[in-house]
Amino acid sequence: MSAAFDGTDEATDVLFIRRRDTKTAKLALERANLLDKEYRISPAASFDGRIADDRLEGKPPLWPKDCVAVPVTLECINLTRTSPSEGSVQSDWKDLVVGHGRQVCPFSSASLGRQRQGGRRRHPRKGSATCSDGLNINSLSTVQLAIFEALVQCIPDEKENPMEVSKRKEIVRDVQALPLAVCPNKIERMGDDHTLVIPRKALTFDDEAFLGLFERAVTEDVDSHVSLSDALKLLWLKLASMHGSSRVVRRGDIDPESKVRESGHRILWPEISETSAEGVPIQTGPGSPGWITVTEHGIKQSFDLTRVMFSRGNVTEKKRFGELVKEGEVVLDMYAGRFGTAL
């Protein structure tokens, strides 16, 4: 039985290219058979606000809005670490690269067509079955990969003294052994800015296996100054980068004893400086840390996700309003009730 079609994008290997060089780079990568046509070129996403590239030192920062993410094979990623010979085909595209990494990109139309006919692609992409050190990380989900990369990066001297392959393989196995409740295959993206919503019991140190992974990582080196809190922040950064998200929140509980039904969502990243005792940002309103806009059927719904609950229900009525209201018109919702009385 074929697997069900269940998505339109996932994380993949990408090169970051300046927008002005997109067409030139794409043609050069196609000639070298290094372009991954399973995915579409997308706007670049970077969790730290800029593209990391040694060749940019001493120059003005290059921001993600100035770049695109071009999906490529792992062979291409490996080639970025080698020096091209002058005049080679490789130099045609390598000179245009300002960084590389992994991020979520939409599937191409051709790839979506094949998935609908025969289920989601299960075979490894060309050139990406294993890393150069023999690690088969292509089998990891986006969430598992983010955990793996965060764990490896927790070790402070990783660049000077690379971790043994056997140790990396052990980490991969430990990550894959995490239960789905703790490490879900996918994470919900909410709103126009693709805010990541982490399930309440997922990716939390309340789980002993998950906690153990990070405890071993931060104590790998006796001189390490990385705390468990720092390691978890690094994981949020990795997840945000891979999903092109600007914010990570944890889904909250609804207090059954409260007369007011509140959201309960709490922001995990970026870190908020001023919060209440319950972890809710002091500031609210447009531009505040919890402010989000969700567009459905042309209707823009903006609210503070740390204070206000949101429902994707009543779809028929939302669609009707989206088709009914003309550009320039303002709709005043006079109801504050539930079910049929709410927009």
What pLDDT score does 325 carry? Answer: 80
- Non-local (6+) Cβ contacts of 136 within 8 A are 129, 130, 172
**Residue 260 in domain:** no
| 152/96 Cα distance (integer angstroms) | 28
ω into residue 270 within 30 of 0, thus cis? yes
Smallest Cα–Cα separation from 283: which of 266, 269, 304, 302?
A: 304
**Residue 257 in domain:** no
| 280/274 Cα distance (integer angstroms) | 8
What pLDDT score does 80 carry? Answer: 81
For residues 110 and 187, membership in a common domain is answered with no
Which strands form 97-106's sheet, in the order they lie side by side?
42-43, 67-71, 9-18, 97-106
| 114/104 Cα distance (integer angstroms) | 19
**Residue 143 in domain:** yes
For residues 38 and 65, membership in a common domain is answered with yes
For residues 172 and 270, membership in a common domain is answered with no
Mean pLDDT, residues 55-72: 74
Report the number of distinct structural domains present in the chain. 3
Q: Domain end: 127, 160, 193, which one?
A: 127
**Mean of the per-residue pLDDT values of the chain:** 78
What pLDDT score does 133 carry? Answer: 52
Q: Domain end: 227, 251, 275, which one?
A: 251
* Residue 268 in this model has a pLDDT that exceeds 60: yes
Higher pLDDT, 36 or 65: 36
**Residue 8 in domain:** yes
For residues 141 and 115, membership in a common domain is answered with no
Mean pLDDT, residues 205-215: 95
What pLDDT score does 130 carry? Answer: 47
Higher pLDDT, 284 or 91: 284
* pLDDT band with cut points at 50, 70 and 90 for residue 169: confident
Contact 220/155 with Cβ under 8 angstroms?
Answer: yes
Q: What is the pLDDT of residues 298-342, one digit of tens each?
A: 778 899 999 988 877 777 777 787 788 888 887 776 665 555 544
Mean pLDDT, residues 229-247: 90
Domain encompassing residue 84 = 1-127
Higher pLDDT, 120 or 237: 237
For residues 121 and 2, membership in a common domain is answered with yes
* Residue 156 in this model has a pLDDT that exceeds 60: no
Which of 57-61, 130-134, 229-233 ranks highest by mean pLDDT? Answer: 229-233
What pLDDT score does 23 carry? Answer: 94
Q: Across the strands, what pairs with 15?
A: 70, 100
For residues 61 and 22, membership in a common domain is answered with yes
For residues 247 and 274, membership in a common domain is answered with no
Question: What six digits make up the tokens of 245?
Answer: 């998200």
Q: Domain end: 127, 151, 179, which one?
A: 127
DSSP string, 44-80: ---TTSS---GGGTTS----GGGEEEEEB-HHHHHHT
Reported pTM: 0.64
Mean pLDDT, residues 75-80: 84
What residue has token string 């990380």?
137
What pLDDT score does 299 carry? Answer: 78
